[in-house]
Structure 1
Amino acid sequence: MTNWRSISVLKFSKSYPVACQQKLMLALSFDKEKSIEKARHLVDLYQQQGVEKSRILIKLASTWEGIRAAEELEKEGINCNLTLLFSFAQARACAEAGVFLISPFVGRIYDWYQARKPMDPYVVEEDPGVKSVRNIYDYYKQHHYETIVMGASFRRTEQILALTGCDRLTIAPNLLKELQEKVSPVVRKLIPPSQTFPRPAPMSEAEFRWEHNQDAMAVEKLSEGIRLFAVDQRKLEDLLAAKL
């Protein structure tokens, strides 16, 4: 099957000297070997068009299989972004696998808790999504993990401002506009802890699945995210097929 999304990203990459992020088929989220095979194929396509491997970022769901696939790809110099990350178990496993970057979803975590126990008035310090990213950031810095933490899926500017100092943030245009209109100074909130600790032994698959399963929000949002992203991906590929 023609990968129309890859073709469109290839065309874009020739015009703009930025990193190219390629999302794998979500149907492969539970297949380590096929994820690796597909990623290698996509990287080869990019390189045939003159795109350097260092500019490519393969996006994978933070399933156990996706994390293990990323571990192998990173050893080959193929950087990965582990997305749909909702639990601390996912974050820890990604760091232990040497993943290049993770994208914890602040807004989707907030949405889940807000639908069950609305926070009114809103207090950013009690926002479960914000607290999750802060916890991951501190843990990574305390244990000297090099994996980049990129907060994503924001719903409010308060969430963004509460995570200033995070390695990276991906922010929607409407929220960027709101931030530009603010006149108050931005104060860094996330600072690497001074106290550090030795890294623990890597999690086993059984430990990962148990710890992740203990987080009802994470279990629900991961499976939901894979389903919804798969639908969106099919729609996008159909649209691109009609345009190209």
Structure 2
Amino acid sequence: MTSKLEQLRSMTTVVADTGDIEAVARLKPVDCTTNPSIVLKAIGSPIFADQFKEAVAWGKSRNGGSDAVVAAVADRLAISVGAALAAIVPGRVSTEVDADLSFDTEASIAKAHAIIAAYKERGIERDRILIKLASTWEGIKAAEVLQTEGIDCNLTLLFSHAQAVACADAKAFLISPFVGRILDWHKKATGQEYTAETDPGVVSVRSIYNYYKANGISTIVMGASFRNVGEIEALAGCDRLTIAPNLLDELDKAEGKLERKLSPEKFEPVKPIAMDEKTFRWMLNEDQMATEKLSDGIRLFAKDLHALRDLVAKELQLAAA
């Protein structure tokens, strides 16, 4: 019998949640997702040493204030990681709009345009890229505009049904509902342990998937943020799943039959929800877990973005000495 990873590939598009080039080459996912945390980790590896030096040298030649130059070099490094991944996966690479723009629609659109332009300079067209935006109201509205321009978006940090409905209304190409972070919150809040079937993160993604399929919504559901293979197995059949290399390796070594849990032909009828900004903000506010985890996720990504910029600033100072 084939491994559980190979069985999963037969029913779900497998995506790697990493900037680890060697792991991607070994595990052969269709797509890759990145975020500021992944980029920060990736550029610390020897594989990206030359790209780091190139970006710093490029930054030395830039005009403008020091903060602007540092931000530009950090952006260049994020594109370097994405370009390296795009060279080895057949599908798409997700690249994140700065977390500190999560509540600014116009600035998010402008940053998305800059990301697409930067990839094009390296010969990578927009159909290979997904723009990642936080699933705030402002991020969702930015995605709505970008989608009309033919720029496909991945709405991330998604923890609630309200966010999923608003993303569908915006015709987002893909959403990344988180699983593990929802589980983390509930375990801390209740002190309980959960099985794969009762896992609140799994239950959330299944509910979103059902809502989309029942209402003929074409937005792709890509479960993300897994803590264990049990969560992944409980979502087998989901459109896509983005998985860290250690869990991909575990699935690759696992034997036994993998049961399909989700199918686009099997859903419970559910009425569509009329969503506007007032409804969105109220529903999100009423969901304590989603409100806290969305805010926390933005802060964590912003922290790693600033850590990347601090690292770049130090290197630029050393280069100028």
Q: Fold match, TM over 0.5? A: yes
Unpaired runs of 5+ residues, structure 1, are none
- Which residue of the other structure, out of 207, 210, 213, is the alignment partner of 2:282? 210
Larger deviation, residues 104-113 vs 183-192: 183-192
Q: Aligned pair in 2 of structure 1 residues 179, 51: CA closer, same or farther (>3 Å)?
A: same
1:103 aligned partner: 176
CA distance in 1, matches of 2:86, 2:242: 23
1:222 aligned partner: 294
| Deviation at residue 170 of structure 1 after TM alignment | 0.8
CA distance in 2, matches of 1:194, 1:167: 14
CA distance in 2, matches of 1:240, 1:150: 32
Contact 2:96–2:131 (CA under 8 A) maintained in structure 1: yes
Unpaired runs of 5+ residues, structure 2, are 1-67
| Deviation at residue 45 of structure 1 after TM alignment | 1.8
Are 1:183 and 2:250 matched, yes or no?
A: no
1:138 aligned partner: 210
1:40 aligned partner: 113
CA distance in 1, matches of 2:245, 2:83: 23
Equivalence map 1:110-121=2 (5 Å): 110-120=183-193
Contact 1:5–1:236 (CA under 8 A) maintained in structure 2: no
| Deviation at residue 181 of structure 1 after TM alignment | 2.5
Equivalent position amino acid for 2:142 in 1:
A
CA distance in 2, matches of 1:195, 1:113: 26
Contact 2:86–2:128 (CA under 8 A) maintained in structure 1: no
Equivalent position amino acid for 2:108 in 1:
S
CA distance in 2, matches of 1:128, 1:10: 32
CA distance in 2, matches of 1:11, 1:113: 37
Contact 2:79–2:115 (CA under 8 A) maintained in structure 1: no
SS of equivalent to 1:149 = strand
Equivalent position amino acid for 2:139 in 1:
G
Contact 2:225–2:243 (CA under 8 A) maintained in structure 1: yes
- Which residue of the other structure, out of 101, 119, 129, is the alignment partner of 2:201? 129
CA distance in 2, matches of 1:165, 1:135: 14
Contact 1:74–1:99 (CA under 8 A) maintained in structure 2: yes
1:59 aligned partner: 132
Matched-pair identity in %: 54
Are 1:87 and 2:160 matched, yes or no?
A: yes
Instruction: Show CA shifts across 1:107-154 (max 9, x none).
Output: 00000000121334x322111000000000000000011111110110
RMSD: 2.1
Number of positions where the alignment pairs a residue of Structure 1 with one of Structure 2: 242
Contact 1:9–1:20 (CA under 8 A) maintained in structure 2: no
| Deviation at residue 174 of structure 1 after TM alignment | 1.4
Q: Aligned pair in 2 of structure 1 residues 236, 64: CA closer, same or farther (>3 Å)?
A: same
Contact 2:211–2:270 (CA under 8 A) maintained in structure 1: no
1:75 aligned partner: 148
Instruction: Show CA shifts across 1:145-180 (max 9, x none).
Output: 111111011011111000000000011111122222
| Deviation at residue 5 of structure 1 after TM alignment | 3.0
2:246 aligned partner: 174
Report 1 or 2 for greater relative contact order, CA contacts < 8 Å, sequence distance ≥ 6: 2
CA distance in 1, matches of 2:182, 2:121: 39
CA distance in 2, matches of 1:155, 1:227: 20
Larger deviation, residues 30-39 vs 227-236: 227-236
Larger deviation, residues 53-62 vs 190-199: 190-199
CA distance in 2, matches of 1:11, 1:148: 23
| Deviation at residue 49 of structure 1 after TM alignment | 2.2
Contact 1:103–1:152 (CA under 8 A) maintained in structure 2: yes
SS of equivalent to 1:166 = coil
